[in-house]
Amino acid sequence: MKDPVRVAVTGAAGQIGYSLLFRIASGQMLGEDQPVALQLLEITPALDALKGVAMELEDCAFPLLTEIVQTDDPEVAFGDVNYALLVGSRPRSKGMERKDLLEANGAIFTVQGRALSSSAASDVKVLVVGNPANTNALIAMSNAPDVPNDRFTAMTRLDHNRAKAQLAQKTGTSVNDVTKMTIWGNHSATQYPDIFHAEVGGRSAAELVNDQGWLESEFIPTVQQRGAAIIEARGLSSAASAANAAIDHMRDWALGTPDGDWVSMAIPSDGSYGVPEGIISSFPVTCSGGEYSIVQGLEIDEFSQGRIDATVAELQEERDTVAELGLV
């Protein structure tokens, strides 16, 4: 058995938390030989609900779960953590403008960025799930001077998994046959799910599909709008699939991506593919030895470039808004 690692989860008494914690504690995120201590953060009014979740975690008698910390203090929650999953965030409510949401959540992510900077372990890896995820990650990163920027990532793995499922359905194959899917840009309705480098059973997905109408009128809008479609159908936003994607993201970052494939992660841009440096944008990446690297050298045609430019422009607008608010 390895030495235990410390994993912080914020918003731990929420919907996603309820699907996420049990899977982390059972070893599905970091491996069945990796003991974990869970450090759970909630706002004060949700601490009772969190206590109930912690009781259920105890009642699972997970062999890998060494400790459960429950707190409303970010400094305690992030104390010595090796992994931090920032899920807790205020969702948009009726009549709320995007700017209001950025402002409301800005307060959460400035505080949490500072607490990560002062309390987390030197090797901490951060995943932001709470929306607007990319820009919340930018805020946390900007407020964490003692954590290297490349440790801040945001989740587009759910979009990536959604795109794989849609492509498998269209081609009458299994998701196991679909590789090299890419989500570019923001986790929002402007994201660009790109099948031009994807493969199905080793063959070019775009050539196999050969249906620009489906691509433009069905595939891209379906993936872009999937979150809203789930809210419409379920009355609540996606939770189990979001938790599953968070597990996938952290597992691949920590343990590596399979040979011959890549995944999508929103990471601080290094300027690759013309995406302005510093914004947190989704790229195709491979992971090895706990580090990610952007897949280089993909040819981007005019159609794809236009879509990438649109989603990157939205990220720049969000960055400008939070800069005006003094959050970054």
Q: How far is the CB of 131 from ligand NAD (least distance, A)?
A: 4
At CB < 8 A and 24+ separation, what contacts does 29-34 make? Answer: 29/247, 29/250, 29/251, 29/254, 30/5, 30/83, 30/250, 30/251, 30/254, 30/255, 31/255, 32/64, 33/1, 33/2, 34/2, 34/4, 34/5, 34/64
Interface with ligand NAD, residue 190, by CB under 6 A = no
List the x/- string, 86-125, binding to ligand NAD by CB under 6 A.
-xxxxx----------------x-----------------
Which of the stretches 58-66, 142-150, 190-198, 232-240 binds ligand NAD when contact is defined by CB under 6 A? 232-240
Q: With H, G, I as helix, E, B as strand and everything else as coil, classify residue 264.
A: strand
- The number of angstroms, rounded, from the C-alpha of 304 to the middle of its chain's C-alpha atoms is 22
Exactly one of 39, 131, 182, 264 binds ligand NAD (CB under 6 A); which one? 131
Residue 230, binding choice from ligand LMR, ligand NAD, none, Cβ under 5 to 8 Å by partner class: ligand LMR
Distance in angstroms (rounded) separating the CA atoms of residues 307 and 66: 46
In this structure, the chain runs to a length of 328
Q: Which of 117, 237, 293, 305 is the binder for ligand LMR (CB under 6 A)?
A: 237
Please report, in range form, the residues annotated as the binding site for NAD(+): 11-17, 105, 112, 129-131
The residues that bridge with 183 in the sheet, in sequence order, are 193
Cβ atoms of residues 1 and 35 within 8 Å: yes
Pick the piece of the chain touching ligand LMR (CB under 6 A) from 2-10, 165-173, 230-238, 297-305. Answer: 230-238
Asked whether the beta carbons of 125 and 151 are under 8 A apart, the reply is yes
In the list ligand NAD, ligand LMR, none, the entry touching 41 (Cβ below 5 to 8 angstroms by class) is ligand NAD
Residue 197 is a catalytic residue: no
Could you list the residues that contact ligand NAD (CB under 6 A)? 10-11, 13-17, 41-43, 46, 87-91, 108, 129-131, 133, 155, 158, 187, 237-239, 242
